[in-house]
A and B are shown apart, each in its own frame.
Chain A
Amino acid sequence: MPVPTTGHTVESLTTWLGERIALYLKRQPAEIDPTVPLAEYGLDSVAAFSLCGDIEEDFDFILEPTAAWDYPTVQALAEHLIKEFDAAKGGAA
């Protein structure tokens, strides 16, 4: 069941993203520093697709797989998602 795209903060998304990415890369969430480029953790295109799939499932929002390269840290991705969620909300209103 998708959760609404409203009510999120950069902090809550940072936590969610860190947990997902740790899972894909077989690491502990605590190891993922939100400001370190994901490439340094060995993020690959398979993991980038996994992330897009999970975002679709959990937030009912379609993210382009290239976003993981355009917003290369957890922090940058979280900020991007918040902006996109807000835009989607605005568009629906």
Chain B
Amino acid sequence: MTSFRTFTELVLARAGALGTEDAFVFLPDDANGSVPQHLTYEQLDADARRIGAWLQERGCGGGQVLLLYPSGLEFIKAFVGCLYAGAVAVPAPLPTEQGRQFARVTGILRDAEARAVLTDAANAPEIAAWLTAENMPHVHCLATDGEAFADAADWREPDLTGENLAFLQYTSGSTSDPKGVMVSHANLLANEAAIQRSVGSDSSSRYGGWLPFYHDMGLIGHILQPLYLGGSGVLMAPVSFLKRPYRWLKMIGDYGVTIGGGPNFAYDLCLRRITDEQLATLDLSTWKAACNGAEPIRVETIRAFTERFAPAGFRPEAFFPCYGMAETTLLVSGTPRGTRPVVLGVDAEALERGELADPREDAPSRTLVSSGIVNEQDFEVRIVDPESFRERAEGQVGEIWVKGDSVASGYWKRPLTNKEIFDAAITGTDGRPDGGGWLRTGDLGVFEDGQLYVTGRLKELIIFAGRNLYPQDIERAVQLTDKAFGIGSGAVFAVETDREHLVVVQEVRPSAVTTDLRTLATGVQALIGREFNIPAGNVLLVRPGTIRKTTSGKIQRTLMRQLFLKGGITPLYEVLEPAVRALVADAVDRPADAVV
């Protein structure tokens, strides 16, 4: 639909055409009795020019600029300000907020080689102190809600092409080794077009959501998509939603939201926390696409949500299961509009072997939810054997490989990884590799009747409430809590019941224990809750030598997970959630070859 070469050109055109119309409405947490904040296209344009001018005056026009903001309109102005400056925006979590992720953001600041940090006045003193402490005094820092820092008249439109980078998306990589996906203007325009085709959006679409602004689904799906369309978005902070999920669904009726969503857990949270009295005040009849992606999609959630919220006008065909990742800018597949989510019951044992088969009586089965279909004009998607690199047939599980204009060229400054991950080649029937250029997603999936089902992860990455967590980050943090824990001798993985559960297996040297094992385990749980904001309901303290490693010393987490599920780990001390205890007990009762 667009003739724009860059997203900068597109936003300038939208601002010129839409002037005094609302681009965004932000709903602050209402605990302070605050009122909705409006940002028109005109205001967005004016502030972005000032920010762009400030960056250009400091020689940051072609460089990377870190954005550290709470959820709010200032972030959007700063992001567009970077587009206007011709700079490469680097959105990251605000490190002064809960969880205090200074270590991660320092890693991003250094890896991205940011020349400037943009923030707001409330956070600027602490951010400036952090830059000084990190010995980065040459990095410029600006509070963009301040007064008269630059004149919009000094701004010059940058000379950009589609190949120029629009932003770096740091959702990959562990804390010690963050990886930024290089999203070009051409990638961004291609994926916004793909989203529009998949979700059926247009300039009358009203987006509404609460996802973090630095998250790919929040940024590309809920902020840049309305700008792309010339539509509008209504936004709130994740904390507002998490405290009172009712506010998100109330927003949908209050503002006539048509498109918006989040990971599966968001729908579960609505089910658990919204009361009958609150339900009676909701109007969800305008909701055309309730996006569900970024973590495994559960049929129980889809069914329960559809049933519970039908009286509020929620339609079954509104659910929009979808699939994508930062490496493809955002969306790869989605459920065609006007159709209900497609589900498929399969035999669990066959699925573990990598094949789809009809469920058998008296045998465990699984119900898969389709992540929708792939539009051929946007992507080529193949299911590939991750060992032989040969393509697998329909109905066979393999790694999902993707090619298309939305696929980024790679991670910032990671040529070796990029060759492996972003330029893989499929081995043909003649044994020869094709021309390459495929993205290896690390996700396992299968096509059946044109529907893409995502069935698991090839990598040991843990996905919790839509967040990507690296086991090595958690293992390292655990091992630093007590001298009795051996460094490099723990395994962290997730197991699944009706939700994800984290399991920590850690070796302990009994002679080095100065307290008792229970205190050690409680300390581990408290640490993981505090540092990573996730529950660690399952901790097993084990004898030295229990953790399996490869000959090169790599932790075999997948093997440890299998051992755990078979009841094959004998702990010195363990604490298990009841659901996980039941899962292990069930597995022990079944023949060994049927174990996941």
- Is chain B found bound to chain A in the same assembly? yes
Instruction: Give which listed residue, B98, B243, B525, contacts A50 with CB less than 8 A.
Output: B243
* Residue of B31, B501, B535 most packed against chain A (CB within 10 A): B535
Note all chain A residues with C-beta closer than 8 A to B533: 44-45
In the complex, whether A42 has a CB less than 8 A from a CB of chain B is yes
Which chain A residues border B459 with CB–CB below 8 Å?
none
A8 to B489, CA, bound (A): 47
- Measured CA separation A47–B243 after assembly (Å): 9
Q: Is residue B265 within 8 Å, beta carbon to beta carbon, of the partner chain? A: yes
The smallest C-beta distance from B358 to any residue of chain A, in angstroms, reads 32
Closest chain B residue to A68 by CB distance? B529
A66 to B575 alpha-carbon distance, docked (Å): 23
Is B555 on the interface with A (CB-CB < 8 A)? no
- As a 0/1 sequence over residues 512 to 546 of chain B, the CB contacts with chain A under 8 angstroms (1 = contact) are 00000000001001101110011111000000000
Complex: how many Å from CA A59 to CA B537?
29
| Cα of A41 to Cα of B536 in the assembled complex, Å | 9
- Assess the B98–A72 pair: CB atoms within 8 A: no
A46 B244 Cβ-Cβ under 8 A: no
Q: Which residues of A contact B273 (CB under 8 A)?
A: 50
Query: Is B239 engaged at the interface, CB distance under 8 Å to the other chain?
Result: yes
Cα of A46 to Cα of B528 in the assembled complex, Å: 14
B342 at the interface (CB under 8 A from A): no
Number of A-B residue pairs with CB-CB distance less than 8 Å in the complex they form = 66
With the chains together, A57 CA to B528 CA distance in Å?
Answer: 28
Chain A residues lying within 8 Å of B136, measured Cβ to Cβ, are none
A50-B273, A66-B98 as given contacts; A41 in contact with B537, CB under 8 Å: yes
Interface of chain A residues 42 through 93 with chain B (CB within 8 A): 42-47, 49-50, 52-53, 56-57, 62, 64-66, 68-69, 72
Chain B contact residue count (CB 8 A cutoff): 25
CB-CB nearest in chain A for B269: A46
A28, chain B: closest CB distance, angstroms: 11
Cα–Cα, bound, A66→B98 (Å): 7
- Asked if residues A69 and B243 are in contact (CB atoms below 8 Å), the reply is no
Distance of A57 from chain B, by nearest CB (Å) = 7
Q: How far is the CA of A45 from the CA of B534 in the complex (A)?
A: 6
State in angstroms the CA–CA spacing of A40 and B529 once bound together. Answer: 10
Asked if A34 is at the interface of the complex by the 8 Å CB criterion, the answer is no
In the complex, are the beta carbons of B525 and A39 less than 8 A apart?
yes
Contacts of A53 in B (CB 8 A): 242-244
**B80 CB, nearest partner CB in chain A, Å:** 30
Is the CB of B465 closer than 8 A to any CB of chain A? yes
Cα A44 to Cα B526 in complex, Å, equals 10
The smallest C-beta distance from A84 to any residue of chain B, in angstroms, reads 15
Q: Is B577 an interface residue (CB 8 A)?
A: yes
Cβ–Cβ contact B530 & A69, under 8 A: yes
Q: Are A56's CB and B529's CB within 8 A?
A: no
A65 to chain B, nearest CB (A): 6
| Shortest distance between the CB of A36 and any CB in chain B (Å) | 9
Would you call the interface of chain B mostly helix, strand, loop, or mixed? helix
Encoded as 1 (CB less than 8 Å from any A CB) or 0, chain B from 212 to 250 comes to 000000000000000000000000000100111000000
Minimum CB–CB distance for A47 against chain B, Å: 8
CA distance A62 to B244 in the complex (A): 13
By the criterion CB–CB under 8 Å, are B529 and A39 in contact?
A: yes
The answer to whether A39 touches B98 (Cβ under 8 A) is no
Bin chain A's interface residue count.
20 to 34
Contact B525 A40, beta carbon cutoff 8 Å: yes
CB contact list, B472-527 vs A, under 8 A: 501, 522, 525-526
- In the complex, the answer to whether B529 meets A43 with C-beta atoms within 8 Å is yes
A43 to B533, CA, bound (A): 9
Interface residue from B244, B465, B501, B526 paired with A37 (Cβ < 8 Å):
B526
Please determine whether B244 and A23 come into contact, CB atoms closer than 8 angstroms. no
| A62 partner, pick from B31, B242, B269, B536, beta carbons under 8 A | B31
- Is B590 an interface residue, CB under 8 A from the partner? no
A39–B526 CB distance below 8 A: yes
Contact with B along A19-46 (1 / 0, CB 8 A): 0000110100000000001011111111
Q: B537 touches which one: A23, A42, A56, A57 (CB < 8 A)?
A: A42
- Given A39-B529, A45-B534, A53-B243, A23 and B522 contact (CB-CB distance below 8 Å): no
Residue among A41, A46, A65 making CB contact with B265, cutoff 8 Å:
A46
Cα A42 to Cα B265 with chains together (Å):
15
Is the CB–CB distance between A57 and B526 below 8 Å? no
Partner of B244, one of A42, A44, A57, A69: A57
> What is the chain A residue whose CB lies nearest that of B498?
A26
**In the assembled complex, B353 has its CB within 8 A of some CB on chain A:** no
Chain B residues in 8 Å Cβ range of A45: 242, 529, 533-534
CB nearest to A45 among chain B residues: B533
Chain A residues contacting B31 (CB-CB under 8 Å) are: 56, 62
Evaluate whether A24 and B243 lie within 8 angstroms (CB atoms) in the complex, with A40-B537, A45-B533 already known. no
Q: Are A46 and B526 in contact (CB under 8 A)?
A: no
Interface string of B254-297 (1 = CB under 8 A from A): 00000000000100010011000000000000000000000000
A42 / chain B contacts, CB cutoff of 8 Å = 501, 535-537, 577
23 contacts between A and B (CB under 8 A): A24-B272, A26-B272, A37-B522, A39-B525, A39-B535, A41-B537, A42-B536, A42-B577, A43-B529, A43-B535, A44-B535, A45-B242, A45-B529, A45-B534, A46-B265, A46-B269, A49-B242, A53-B242, A53-B243, A56-B31, A64-B98, A66-B98, A68-B529
Given A24-B272, A39-B535, A43-B529, 15 other A-B contacts at CB below 8 A? A37-B522, A39-B522, A39-B536, A40-B522, A41-B537, A42-B577, A45-B533, A45-B534, A46-B242, A49-B243, A52-B243, A65-B239, A68-B529, A69-B529, A72-B526
Could you list which residues of chain A lie within 8 angstroms of chain B, going by C-beta atoms?
Answer: 23-24, 26, 37, 39-47, 49-50, 52-53, 56-57, 62, 64-66, 68-69, 72
